[in-house]
């Protein structure tokens, strides 16, 4: 009677797949196809030395659009948002973050702890705003 009775439990894997599928379905294409490199001009330092990106929503467009930005894991990144109407930004970090902004000007700071490539999107406009390379 030495039969090993270790039950196989695929539930965890199934859940992960389901979540991944949802995440992919809920978002725009992650294939920007614009080569590598970093649009360093997008990032400025504010008066306290925090890296800051200006994001402007106007009608159906957003600036920047798919800019590549390098950030250091654990470092704050300030999003200086100017919008003509309220909306929400989705940060594809792990865990993901949802940033709500109002019409007008909103400052939000995000910190990403895990290295990787993190898309920052507007789901209202279905557009990629930033692609963060976190190291």
Among residues 83 and 118, whose Cβ is nearest to Cu ion? 118
Residue 105 pairs in a beta bridge with: 82
Lookup result for tokens 């725009």:
28
- Shortest separation between residue 17's beta carbon and Cu ion, angstroms: 18
Dihedral sign of CA atoms 15, 18, 24, 27 in order = negative
Among residues 78 and 90, whose Cβ is nearest to Cu ion? 90
Pairwise CA distance, residues 10 & 7, whole Å: 10
Pairwise CA distance, residues 133 & 92, whole Å: 12
- Shortest separation between residue 120's beta carbon and Cu ion, angstroms: 8
- Shortest separation between residue 10's beta carbon and Cu ion, angstroms: 27
Where does this chain bind Cu ion (CB under 5 A)? Answer: 27, 90, 121
Among residues 22 and 103, whose Cβ is nearest to Cu ion? 22
């Amino acid at each position: 009677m030495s039969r090993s009775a270790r039950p196989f439990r695929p539930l965890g894997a199934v859940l992960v797949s389901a979540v991944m599928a949802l995440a992919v379905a809920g978002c725009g294409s992650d294939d920007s196809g614009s080569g590598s490199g970093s649009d360093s001009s997008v990032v400025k330092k504010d008066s306290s030395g925090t890296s800051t990106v200006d994001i402007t929503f106007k009608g159906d467009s957003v600036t920047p659009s798919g800019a590549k930005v390098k950030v250091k894991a654990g470092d704050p990144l300030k999003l200086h948002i100017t919008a003509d109407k309220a909306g929400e930004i989705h940060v594809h970090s792990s865990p993901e973050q949802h940033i709500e902004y109002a019409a007008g000007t909103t400052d939000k700071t995000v910190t990403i702890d895990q290295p990787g490539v993190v898309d920052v999107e507007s789901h209202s406009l279905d557009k990629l705003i930033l692609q963060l390379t976190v190291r």
